[in-house]
């Protein structure tokens, strides 16, 4: 699912951020539940089967794996295409993380620029 579509449907989605906790310092989508990808199988009970899932990561690769796994488990799951890179490049709203001094507020740039 692209970022704009995700934002339009945000109220009907449960957002699962599969990044590691330290990655959230750069910002995350409000209301997201952080379940790092390696922990997903053990924590699957924390995800409701009654609401579509939007899996989120930095670039969309890990969240693609998460969405595929959740689909195989019977969830209606979607990957956020482009991950938080794409979300931030479009200027969509984020909650700024609070981590160690100097770790938050990282600039989002197109890879290779």
Show which residues are catalytic. Answer: 57
Tell how strand 14-17 and strand 77-79 pair up: unpaired
Cβ-in-10-Å burial (0-12, 13-18, 19+) of 40 comes to buried
User: Distance between alpha carbon 98 and the CA centroid of its chain, in Å?
Assistant: 17
How many CA within 13 A on the CB side of residue 2? 4
Cβ-in-10-Å burial (0-12, 13-18, 19+) of 13 comes to buried
């Amino acid at each position: 699912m692209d970022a704009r579509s995700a934002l339009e449907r945000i109220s009907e989605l449960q957002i699962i951020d599969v990044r590691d906790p330290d990655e959230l310092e750069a910002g995350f989508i409000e209301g997201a539940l952080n379940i790092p990808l390696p922990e997903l199988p053990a924590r699957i009970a924390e995800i409701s089967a009654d609401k579509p899932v939007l899996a989120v990561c930095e670039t969309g690769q890990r969240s693609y794996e998460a969405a595929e796994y959740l689909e195989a488990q019977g969830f209606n799951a979607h990957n956020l295409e482009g991950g938080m890179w794409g979300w931030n490049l479009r200027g969509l709203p984020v909650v700024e993380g609070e981590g160690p001094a100097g770790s938050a507020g990282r600039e989002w740039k197109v890879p290779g620029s």
